[in-house]
């Protein structure tokens, strides 16, 4: 449930402009357990403690300017007493025509297990960092252009956000991190949602099996009423010509106060000069949420995935109380 802190109506020197700010957040605490390499670990701890702040100003003529900031106070890689972690930081300018330009630093959720293909099944745990690649912050600029009712064209240019400040990373001569550019199309109408996209990378190397050259991806979901189903894929081609293809199917369904979800993911590597690198790995996730109110839930998730070693699957679960405000 969103909580409005302040709505400001100010008369600026340039004319009448309306601005409002909204503060929201979430908190959770629970228990988690994980078994990897035949070693079990687990215990109590913070699951979420996030604050989100957003402000939007409507200018004369109908254009809008906004800023969104997120702060993560429960970063599980930081010791108690250390500084909080700044999450997404974005600003946007939206023209009255609907064209929107967004800039900032973003750690997007996994395209498959937290996006359209998941069909809402990523309630608590996802495949991010399991069989799919761990997400990281990117400095980016994107343009969203409405084409028709429910149809949008998106263009995004990104570079790895490994340092704060303009030009902190990505020295052009050495190309230590790759930039990428993506064109995508989003369509949403009624029960149907669809996204397709194509990405190119700079700094490619025809001898490298780890430096990407291009990517194409697609995802679809459909709400059947009794359940929502989805599927998608991400196919990345590397300089050498080898490929990594991620795919996922997801389903979620409401049962009274309960919402349950499941997803199955796969990663197939092919075309490597080393036969041992041409493998297929699989994983699965089960999630459930019980709503105590509109803002408070008991949530839990279980995962199992092929860790790609001789010790078998990595498995784990977590259960927590989740509160949003």
Domain coordinates in residue numbering, the chain: 3-324
For residue 93, what pLDDT is reported? 97
Helix (H) or strand (E) run with residue 245 in it: strand 243-255
User: Residues 31, 320: contact at Cβ < 8 Å?
Assistant: yes
Strand partners, 56: 20, 66
- 170-191 average pLDDT score: 79
pLDDT for the residue 83: 57
More confident residue, 12 or 138: 138
pLDDT value at position 15? 43
Domain 3-324 belongs to what topology? Answer: Porin (2.40.160)
Q: What is the pLDDT of residues 126-144, one digit of tens each?
A: 988 889 988 888 899 999 9
Stretch 273-284: mean pLDDT: 94
- What does the pLDDT average to over 311-324? 92
Mind listing the pLDDT tens digit for each residue in 184-236? Answer: 999 999 999 999 999 999 988 899 999 999 999 999 999 999 999 999 999 99
Q: What is the pLDDT of residue 87?
A: 76
d(CA 277, CA 4): 52
Higher pLDDT, 283 or 6: 283
Global pTM?
A: 0.85
pLDDT at residue number 73: 78
Instruction: Report how far residue 242's alpha carbon sits from residue 277's, in angstroms, rounded to the nearest whole number.
Output: 10
Q: How many CB atoms lie within 10 A of CB 323?
A: 17
């Amino acid at each position: 449930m969103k909580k409005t802190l302040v709505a400001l109506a100010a008369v600026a020197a340039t004319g009448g402009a309306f601005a409002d700010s909204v503060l929201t957040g979430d908190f959770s605490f629970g228990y988690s357990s994980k078994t990897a390499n035949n070693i079990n670990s687990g215990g109590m701890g913070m699951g979420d403690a996030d604050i989100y702040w957003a402000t939007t100003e409507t200018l004369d003529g109908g254009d809008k300017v906004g800023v969104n900031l997120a702060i993560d106070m429960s970063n599980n890689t930081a010791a108690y007493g250390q500084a909080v972690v700044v999450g997404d930081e974005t600003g946007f300018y939206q023209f009255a025509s609907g064209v929107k330009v967004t800039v900032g630093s973003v750690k997007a959720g996994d395209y498959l297990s937290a996006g359209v293909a998941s069909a809402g099944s990523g309630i608590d745990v996802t495949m991010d960092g399991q069989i799919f690649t761990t997400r990281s912050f990117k400095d980016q600029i994107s343009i969203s252009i409405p084409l028709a009712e429910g149809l949008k064209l998106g263009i995004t240019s990104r570079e790895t956000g490994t340092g704060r400040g303009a030009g902190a990373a990505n020295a052009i001569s050495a190309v230590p991190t790759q930039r990428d550019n993506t064109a995508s199309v989003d369509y949403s109408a009624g029960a149907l949602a669809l996204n397709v996209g194509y990405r190119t990378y700079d700094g490619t190397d025809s001898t490298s099996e780890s430096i990407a050259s291009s990517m194409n991806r697609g995802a679809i979901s459909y709400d059947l009423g009794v359940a929502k189903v989805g599927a998608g894929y991400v196919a990345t081609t590397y300089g050498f010509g080898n490929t990594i293809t991620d795919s996922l199917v997801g389903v979620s369904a409401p049962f009274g106060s309960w919402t349950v979800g499941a997803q199955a993911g796969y990663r197939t590597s092919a075309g490597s000069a080393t036969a041992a690198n041409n493998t297929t790995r699989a994983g699965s996730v089960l999630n459930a949420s019980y709503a105590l109110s509109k803002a408070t839930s008991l949530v839990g998730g279980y995962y199992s995935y092929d860790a790609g070693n001789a010790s078998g699957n990595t498995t784990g679960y977590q259960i927590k109380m989740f509160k949003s405000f």
